[in-house]
Protein backbone atom coordinates (compact mmCIF):
# COMPACT_ATOMS: atom_id res chain seq x y z
CA UNK A 1 0.00 0.00 0.00
CA UNK A 2 1.47 3.35 -1.03
CA UNK A 3 2.02 5.78 1.80
CA UNK A 4 0.12 9.07 1.88
CA UNK A 5 2.65 11.83 1.11
CA UNK A 6 0.54 14.93 1.64
CA UNK A 7 -2.72 15.68 3.44
CA UNK A 8 -4.51 18.95 2.74
CA UNK A 9 -5.96 20.72 5.77
CA UNK A 10 -8.83 23.22 5.59
CA UNK A 11 -9.55 25.19 8.75
CA UNK A 12 -12.90 26.89 9.34
CA UNK A 13 -12.80 29.26 12.33
CA UNK A 14 -9.77 31.17 13.56
CA UNK A 15 -10.94 32.46 16.97
CA UNK A 16 -9.62 31.33 20.37
CA UNK A 17 -9.66 27.58 19.69
CA UNK A 18 -8.68 28.09 16.04
CA UNK A 19 -5.54 30.05 16.95
CA UNK A 20 -4.51 27.45 19.55
CA UNK A 21 -5.09 24.66 17.03
CA UNK A 22 -2.95 26.44 14.40
CA UNK A 23 -0.11 26.69 16.89
CA UNK A 24 -0.42 22.98 17.75
CA UNK A 25 -0.62 22.07 14.05
CA UNK A 26 2.60 24.00 13.40
CA UNK A 27 4.39 22.00 16.13
CA UNK A 28 2.88 18.74 14.88
CA UNK A 29 4.06 19.40 11.31
CA UNK A 30 7.61 19.90 12.64
CA UNK A 31 7.53 16.73 14.74
CA UNK A 32 5.93 14.58 12.01
CA UNK A 33 7.22 15.55 8.56
CA UNK A 34 5.42 12.55 6.94
CA UNK A 35 2.81 12.91 5.62
CA UNK A 36 3.22 16.59 4.85
CA UNK A 37 0.38 18.56 6.46
CA UNK A 38 -0.46 21.33 4.01
CA UNK A 39 -2.76 24.12 5.14
CA UNK A 40 -4.59 24.94 1.88
CA UNK A 41 -7.60 26.88 3.19
CA UNK A 42 -8.43 28.92 6.29
CA UNK A 43 -11.48 31.08 6.89
CA UNK A 44 -13.43 33.13 9.38
CA UNK A 45 -17.13 33.90 8.89
CA UNK A 46 -16.14 36.92 6.74
CA UNK A 47 -12.80 36.15 5.05
CA UNK A 48 -10.79 33.30 3.59
CA UNK A 49 -7.38 32.61 2.11
CA UNK A 50 -6.56 29.78 -0.31
CA UNK A 51 -4.54 29.25 -3.45
CA UNK A 52 -6.06 27.80 -6.60
CA UNK A 53 -2.92 25.70 -7.12
CA UNK A 54 -3.13 24.33 -3.53
CA UNK A 55 0.14 25.98 -2.51
CA UNK A 56 0.54 25.74 1.27
CA UNK A 57 -0.34 28.69 3.47
CA UNK A 58 2.37 29.37 6.08
CA UNK A 59 1.18 28.08 9.47
CA UNK A 60 3.11 30.82 11.27
CA UNK A 61 1.67 33.62 9.12
CA UNK A 62 -1.88 32.34 8.46
CA UNK A 63 -3.63 34.57 11.03
CA UNK A 64 -1.88 37.74 9.83
CA UNK A 65 -2.59 36.86 6.19
CA UNK A 66 -6.22 36.21 7.01
CA UNK A 67 -6.57 39.62 8.69
CA UNK A 68 -5.58 41.38 5.48
CA UNK A 69 -7.47 39.03 3.12
CA UNK A 70 -10.23 40.26 0.84
CA UNK A 71 -11.67 36.94 -0.41
CA UNK A 72 -15.04 35.78 1.00
CA UNK A 73 -15.29 32.25 2.47
CA UNK A 74 -16.31 29.49 0.08
CA UNK A 75 -19.80 28.02 0.41
CA UNK A 76 -19.69 24.39 1.66
CA UNK A 77 -20.30 22.86 -1.78
CA UNK A 78 -17.61 25.09 -3.33
CA UNK A 79 -15.17 24.19 -0.53
CA UNK A 80 -15.83 20.49 -1.16
CA UNK A 81 -15.22 21.03 -4.90
CA UNK A 82 -11.99 22.89 -4.17
CA UNK A 83 -10.64 20.18 -1.85
CA UNK A 84 -11.68 17.40 -4.24
CA UNK A 85 -9.83 19.17 -7.08
CA UNK A 86 -6.52 18.05 -5.59
CA UNK A 87 -5.25 14.47 -5.69
CA UNK A 88 -4.33 14.69 -1.98
CA UNK A 89 -6.62 13.50 0.82
CA UNK A 90 -8.32 16.32 2.69
CA UNK A 91 -9.43 17.00 6.27
CA UNK A 92 -11.71 19.84 7.33
CA UNK A 93 -11.11 21.19 10.84
CA UNK A 94 -14.21 23.08 11.98
CA UNK A 95 -13.35 25.23 15.02
CA UNK A 96 -16.66 27.10 14.97
CA UNK A 97 -19.96 26.63 16.76
CA UNK A 98 -21.83 27.29 13.51
CA UNK A 99 -24.99 25.31 12.72
CA UNK A 100 -24.56 26.13 9.00
CA UNK A 101 -21.11 24.50 8.93
CA UNK A 102 -22.40 21.54 10.97
CA UNK A 103 -25.23 21.03 8.47
CA UNK A 104 -22.61 20.60 5.72
CA UNK A 105 -20.81 17.65 7.37
CA UNK A 106 -22.81 14.99 5.47
CA UNK A 107 -21.84 16.75 2.21
CA UNK A 108 -18.13 16.90 3.13
CA UNK A 109 -18.06 13.28 4.31
CA UNK A 110 -19.96 11.99 1.27
CA UNK A 111 -17.26 13.61 -0.90
CA UNK A 112 -14.54 11.69 0.97
CA UNK A 113 -13.40 14.64 3.11
CA UNK A 114 -12.79 13.79 6.79
CA UNK A 115 -13.98 16.15 9.55
CA UNK A 116 -12.58 16.89 13.01
CA UNK A 117 -14.30 19.41 15.23
CA UNK A 118 -15.27 20.64 18.70
CA UNK A 119 -18.61 21.89 17.27
CA UNK A 120 -21.37 20.52 19.54
CA UNK A 121 -24.17 21.57 17.20
CA UNK A 122 -23.39 18.89 14.62
CA UNK A 123 -23.87 16.08 17.13
CA UNK A 124 -26.57 17.52 19.40
CA UNK A 125 -28.86 19.02 16.76
CA UNK A 126 -31.60 17.00 15.10
CA UNK A 127 -31.28 13.22 15.33
CA UNK A 128 -31.58 13.10 11.52
CA UNK A 129 -28.41 15.20 11.12
CA UNK A 130 -26.61 12.81 13.51
CA UNK A 131 -27.71 9.83 11.37
CA UNK A 132 -26.82 11.58 8.11
CA UNK A 133 -23.30 12.41 9.38
CA UNK A 134 -22.43 8.86 10.42
CA UNK A 135 -24.13 7.23 7.42
CA UNK A 136 -22.14 9.48 5.06
CA UNK A 137 -18.93 8.58 6.91
CA UNK A 138 -19.66 4.84 6.77
CA UNK A 139 -20.47 4.96 3.07
CA UNK A 140 -17.47 7.01 1.90
CA UNK A 141 -14.85 5.85 4.42
CA UNK A 142 -14.10 9.47 5.38
CA UNK A 143 -13.67 9.87 9.15
CA UNK A 144 -15.43 12.14 11.61
CA UNK A 145 -14.15 12.76 15.16
CA UNK A 146 -15.47 15.22 17.76
CA UNK A 147 -13.69 14.51 21.07
CA UNK A 148 -13.69 18.19 22.08
CA UNK A 149 -17.47 18.54 21.69
CA UNK A 150 -17.72 17.26 25.29
CA UNK A 151 -15.20 18.11 27.99
CA UNK A 152 -12.65 19.89 25.75
CA UNK A 153 -9.48 17.75 25.68
CA UNK A 154 -10.67 15.26 28.31
CA UNK A 155 -10.99 11.75 26.81
CA UNK A 156 -14.73 11.55 27.44
CA UNK A 157 -16.08 10.55 24.02
CA UNK A 158 -13.23 8.15 23.21
CA UNK A 159 -13.70 6.44 26.60
CA UNK A 160 -17.45 6.05 26.12
CA UNK A 161 -16.92 4.70 22.59
CA UNK A 162 -14.39 2.17 23.91
CA UNK A 163 -16.79 1.02 26.65
CA UNK A 164 -19.64 0.56 24.17
CA UNK A 165 -17.59 -0.98 21.36
CA UNK A 166 -15.90 -3.53 23.65
CA UNK A 167 -19.32 -4.72 24.79
CA UNK A 168 -19.53 -3.18 28.27
CA UNK A 169 -23.03 -2.19 29.38
CA UNK A 170 -23.18 1.49 30.31
CA UNK A 171 -25.94 1.92 32.90
CA UNK A 172 -25.52 5.54 33.96
CA UNK A 173 -23.47 8.63 33.12
CA UNK A 174 -23.39 11.51 35.60
CA UNK A 175 -21.25 14.57 36.08
CA UNK A 176 -20.47 18.26 36.01
CA UNK A 177 -20.15 19.08 32.31
CA UNK A 178 -19.72 22.86 32.45
CA UNK A 179 -16.58 24.67 33.60
CA UNK A 180 -18.73 27.75 34.21
CA UNK A 181 -21.24 25.91 36.41
CA UNK A 182 -18.42 24.10 38.20
CA UNK A 183 -16.71 27.38 39.08
CA UNK A 184 -19.98 29.02 40.13
CA UNK A 185 -21.11 26.30 42.51
CA UNK A 186 -17.66 25.59 43.94
CA UNK A 187 -17.61 29.31 44.91
CA UNK A 188 -21.28 29.70 45.86
CA UNK A 189 -21.65 26.47 47.87
CA UNK A 190 -18.15 25.28 48.84
CA UNK A 191 -17.68 22.10 50.88
CA UNK A 192 -16.22 24.27 53.66
CA UNK A 193 -17.08 27.89 54.44
CA UNK A 194 -20.20 29.76 53.41
CA UNK A 195 -19.49 31.02 49.88
CA UNK A 196 -20.69 34.30 48.41
CA UNK A 197 -24.04 35.62 47.22
CA UNK A 198 -25.23 34.01 43.99
CA UNK A 199 -25.35 37.25 41.97
CA UNK A 200 -21.86 38.23 43.19
CA UNK A 201 -20.44 34.86 42.16
CA UNK A 202 -22.04 35.13 38.68
CA UNK A 203 -20.58 38.64 38.28
CA UNK A 204 -17.13 37.42 39.41
CA UNK A 205 -17.27 34.45 37.02
CA UNK A 206 -18.03 36.81 34.13
CA UNK A 207 -15.18 39.18 35.09
CA UNK A 208 -12.75 36.23 35.19
CA UNK A 209 -13.87 35.11 31.73
CA UNK A 210 -15.59 31.91 32.85
CA UNK A 211 -18.99 32.84 31.38
CA UNK A 212 -20.22 33.80 27.94
CA UNK A 213 -20.52 37.59 27.34
CA UNK A 214 -24.18 37.18 28.39
CA UNK A 215 -24.13 34.80 31.41
CA UNK A 216 -27.64 33.63 30.56
CA UNK A 217 -26.09 31.57 27.76
CA UNK A 218 -24.49 29.44 30.50
CA UNK A 219 -27.23 29.63 33.12
CA UNK A 220 -29.97 28.34 30.80
CA UNK A 221 -28.40 24.86 30.96
CA UNK A 222 -28.49 24.35 27.18
CA UNK A 223 -24.71 23.93 26.83
CA UNK A 224 -24.84 21.03 29.30
CA UNK A 225 -27.95 19.65 27.57
CA UNK A 226 -26.07 19.57 24.24
CA UNK A 227 -23.23 17.56 25.81
CA UNK A 228 -25.70 15.14 27.42
CA UNK A 229 -27.45 14.67 24.07
CA UNK A 230 -24.15 13.66 22.45
CA UNK A 231 -23.23 11.18 25.19
CA UNK A 232 -26.74 9.70 25.37
CA UNK A 233 -26.69 9.05 21.61
CA UNK A 234 -23.26 7.41 21.83
CA UNK A 235 -24.64 5.23 24.64
CA UNK A 236 -27.41 4.08 22.30
CA UNK A 237 -30.35 6.36 23.16
CA UNK A 238 -32.20 8.04 20.31
CA UNK A 239 -32.41 11.47 21.91
CA UNK A 240 -34.16 13.80 19.46
CA UNK A 241 -32.66 17.12 20.66
CA UNK A 242 -31.29 19.00 23.71
CA UNK A 243 -34.79 20.31 24.39
CA UNK A 244 -36.46 16.87 24.42
CA UNK A 245 -35.67 16.18 28.11
CA UNK A 246 -35.87 18.21 31.38
CA UNK A 247 -33.32 21.03 31.57
CA UNK A 248 -33.40 23.32 34.61
CA UNK A 249 -32.62 26.95 33.81
CA UNK A 250 -31.11 29.11 36.55
CA UNK A 251 -32.38 32.29 34.93
CA UNK A 252 -35.23 33.86 36.92
CA UNK A 253 -38.31 34.03 34.66
CA UNK A 254 -38.51 37.78 35.19
CA UNK A 255 -34.99 38.22 33.71
CA UNK A 256 -35.26 35.92 30.69
CA UNK A 257 -36.16 38.75 28.35
CA UNK A 258 -34.05 41.64 29.67
CA UNK A 259 -32.15 43.37 26.86
CA UNK A 260 -28.52 42.57 27.73
CA UNK A 261 -26.15 40.56 29.88
CA UNK A 262 -25.20 43.71 31.77
CA UNK A 263 -28.83 44.47 32.60
CA UNK A 264 -29.26 40.84 33.70
CA UNK A 265 -26.31 41.14 36.12
CA UNK A 266 -27.63 44.45 37.40
CA UNK A 267 -31.04 42.97 38.27
CA UNK A 268 -29.89 39.52 39.45
CA UNK A 269 -29.25 40.48 43.14
CA UNK A 270 -33.02 40.89 43.66
CA UNK A 271 -33.35 37.12 43.13
CA UNK A 272 -30.51 35.93 45.40
CA UNK A 273 -33.00 34.65 48.02
CA UNK A 274 -34.14 31.83 45.69
CA UNK A 275 -30.64 30.37 45.36
CA UNK A 276 -29.87 30.98 49.06
CA UNK A 277 -32.92 28.90 49.95
CA UNK A 278 -31.71 26.06 47.70
CA UNK A 279 -28.23 26.20 49.27
CA UNK A 280 -29.64 26.28 52.83
CA UNK A 281 -31.90 23.31 52.09
CA UNK A 282 -28.91 21.23 51.06
CA UNK A 283 -26.85 22.39 54.06
CA UNK A 284 -29.57 21.19 56.46
CA UNK A 285 -29.00 17.70 55.09
CA UNK A 286 -25.21 18.10 55.38
CA UNK A 287 -24.95 18.35 51.60
CA UNK A 288 -23.98 20.84 48.88
CA UNK A 289 -25.82 21.71 45.70
CA UNK A 290 -24.26 21.21 42.25
CA UNK A 291 -25.44 21.65 38.65
CA UNK A 292 -25.19 18.26 37.00
CA UNK A 293 -26.28 16.24 34.03
CA UNK A 294 -27.27 12.59 34.19
CA UNK A 295 -28.20 9.83 31.78
CA UNK A 296 -29.95 6.72 33.08
CA UNK A 297 -29.53 4.37 30.15
CA UNK A 298 -31.91 1.61 31.32
CA UNK A 299 -34.86 3.95 31.92
CA UNK A 300 -33.82 6.24 29.00
CA UNK A 301 -34.00 9.24 31.34
CA UNK A 302 -31.81 12.26 30.59
CA UNK A 303 -31.91 15.37 32.79
CA UNK A 304 -29.94 18.51 33.61
CA UNK A 305 -30.30 20.55 36.80
CA UNK A 306 -29.52 21.06 40.47
CA UNK A 307 -28.80 18.02 42.66
CA UNK A 308 -27.64 17.62 46.27
CA UNK A 309 -24.47 15.68 47.11
CA UNK A 310 -22.69 14.60 50.29
CA UNK A 311 -19.64 16.78 50.90
CA UNK A 312 -17.37 13.73 50.42
CA UNK A 313 -18.82 12.89 46.99
CA UNK A 314 -16.35 13.38 44.08
CA UNK A 315 -18.80 15.77 42.39
CA UNK A 316 -19.00 17.93 45.55
CA UNK A 317 -15.22 17.98 45.99
CA UNK A 318 -14.38 19.47 42.56
CA UNK A 319 -12.04 22.47 42.51
CA UNK A 320 -12.03 25.56 40.31
CA UNK A 321 -13.71 25.06 36.96
CA UNK A 322 -12.95 21.34 36.56
CA UNK A 323 -15.34 18.92 34.91
CA UNK A 324 -16.03 15.43 36.23
CA UNK A 325 -17.75 12.65 34.35
CA UNK A 326 -18.61 9.29 35.96
CA UNK A 327 -19.38 6.22 33.84
CA UNK A 328 -21.29 3.50 35.68
CA UNK A 329 -21.04 0.22 33.78
CA UNK A 330 -21.54 -3.52 34.28
CA UNK A 331 -17.79 -4.16 34.24
CA UNK A 332 -16.89 -1.33 36.62
CA UNK A 333 -19.66 -2.25 39.08
CA UNK A 334 -20.44 0.13 41.93
CA UNK A 335 -17.20 2.11 41.50
CA UNK A 336 -17.58 4.25 38.37
CA UNK A 337 -14.87 5.04 35.86
CA UNK A 338 -14.19 8.75 36.53
CA UNK A 339 -12.66 11.33 34.20
CA UNK A 340 -11.78 14.67 35.77
CA UNK A 341 -9.91 17.82 34.75
CA UNK A 342 -10.14 21.09 32.87
CA UNK A 343 -13.20 20.98 30.63
CA UNK A 344 -12.77 24.37 28.99
CA UNK A 345 -10.03 26.59 27.56
CA UNK A 346 -8.51 27.15 24.14
CA UNK A 347 -5.37 25.03 24.54
CA UNK A 348 -7.06 21.92 25.99
CA UNK A 349 -9.95 22.15 23.50
CA UNK A 350 -7.48 22.45 20.61
CA UNK A 351 -5.57 19.48 22.07
CA UNK A 352 -8.68 17.33 21.62
CA UNK A 353 -8.98 18.54 18.01
CA UNK A 354 -5.29 17.84 17.32
CA UNK A 355 -5.67 14.38 18.86
CA UNK A 356 -8.61 13.71 16.52
CA UNK A 357 -6.53 14.90 13.55
CA UNK A 358 -3.88 12.33 14.50
CA UNK A 359 -6.58 9.62 14.59
CA UNK A 360 -7.64 10.51 11.04
CA UNK A 361 -4.01 10.56 9.83
CA UNK A 362 -3.42 7.10 11.30
CA UNK A 363 -6.39 5.73 9.34
CA UNK A 364 -5.71 7.34 5.96
CA UNK A 365 -4.42 5.05 3.25
- Binding residue ranges for NADP(+): 13-18
Contacts for 139 with CB less than 8 Å, ≥ 6 apart: 110
Binding residues for NADPH: 96, 120
Please, where are the H alpha helices in the chain? 16-31, 62-67, 76-84, 99-103, 105-110, 121-124, 127-140, 156-165, 179-188, 198-207, 216-219, 222-234, 261-267, 272-284, 346-363
Contact by Cβ (8 Å): 154, 325: yes
Query: Does residue 162 sit in helix, strand or coil?
Result: helix
Binding residues: 13-18, 96, 120, 212
Contact by Cβ (8 Å): 150, 230: yes
Number of neighbours of residue 159 by Cβ within 10 angstroms: 16
Contact by Cβ (8 Å): 201, 221: no
Contact by Cβ (8 Å): 227, 293: yes
Task: Label residue 257 left, alpha or beta by phi (over 0 means left) and psi (-120 to 50 means alpha).
Answer: alpha
Contacts for 35 with CB less than 8 Å, ≥ 6 apart: 3, 4, 5, 6, 7, 361, 364
Catalytic pick among 227, 279, 287, 308: 227
Contact by Cβ (8 Å): 92, 10: yes
227 is catalytic: yes
Contacts for 74 with CB less than 8 Å, ≥ 6 apart: 41, 43, 48, 50, 82
| DSSP letter, residue 71 | P
DSSP string covering 177-201? --HHHHHHHHHHS-SSS----HHHH
How far is Cα 168 from Cα 174, in angstroms, rounded to an integer? 17
How far is Cα 147 from Cα 118, in angstroms, rounded to an integer? 7
Q: How far is CA 259 from the centre of its chain?
A: 27
Q: Among all residues, which ones are annotated catalytic?
A: 227
Amino acid sequence: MASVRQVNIAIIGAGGVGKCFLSQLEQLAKRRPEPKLALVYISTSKKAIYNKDYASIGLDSAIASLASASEAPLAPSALADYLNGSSSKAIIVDNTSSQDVADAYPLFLSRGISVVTPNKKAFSGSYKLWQDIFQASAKSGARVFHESSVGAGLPVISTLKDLVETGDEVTKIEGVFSGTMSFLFNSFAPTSGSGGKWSAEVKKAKELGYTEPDPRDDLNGLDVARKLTILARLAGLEVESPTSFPVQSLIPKELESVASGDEFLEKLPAFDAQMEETKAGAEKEGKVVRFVGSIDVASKQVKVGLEKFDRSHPIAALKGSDNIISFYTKRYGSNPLIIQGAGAGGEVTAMGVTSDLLKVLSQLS
